[in-house]
Amino acid sequence: VYNNVIHKPVFWSTSMPPQVKVSKEHIKSEAFQMTKESGFEAVSARKLAERLNCSTQPIFRVYQNMEELKADLYEMGTDYMRESMERHKGKSEPAYLSLAKGYIDAARNEKNLFRLIASVDDLDISGDKEFLLKGEAINYPNMLPGAESLDDEKKGELISAIWFLVHGIATLIVSGRTEISDKEIGDLINETYFGLLSRFKGE
């Protein structure tokens, strides 16, 4: 007691403030949403941390760099595109046509996501028709009308040719370089499909 004032001892804490725990799934989910909204170019560690309400440290504990995150977002994007295509599959038209229309519609509706997928060469990922043929879709080569007599190699070539056409159409639409109606898209894909089918069958 000094001058009638009681001084209480002060204990200084040496413990560090608790670290914010952010899961990898949460990081991917938020980055994916940002990509859909503004494109991957707008996804920086700082902006992502702001969205997650944390510092950049939790992000870089999970990812060494943004390219690793980009690779994960690519996988999420291809899953999203494939699911969008699946929703277009119907009984009124062959699978190759409904899936093609679904892919182009998904690209048109999610331009930023499509641009990420189209940047596959930058990611050193094997990206062609293979990302479409997963799960249930693995059976699509056996659902090609008129192609029953073709061997697996020829069916694969046919799918690749249609895939190149469809991806090209989607790229032109997303870049604003062409305007094409759904009917024109369907007619072009059908003409290409049956033209290639006749060639592969030697007709």
Structure tokens at 132: 């479409």
Average pLDDT over residues 50-57: 94
Q: What's the pLDDT tens digit per position in 130-174?
A: 555 555 555 666 778 999 899 988 988 888 888 889 989 999 999
Nearest to 103 by CA among 14, 181, 180, 170: 170
Own/partner long-range contacts of 164-167 (Cβ < 8 Å, ≥24 apart): 165/189, 165/192, 166/100, 166/103, 166/104, 167/103, 167/118
pLDDT at 26 > cutoff 90: yes
Q: What is d(CA 108, CA 59) in angstroms, rounded to the nearest whole number? A: 31
Number of other CB atoms surrounding residue 123 within 10 Å: 17
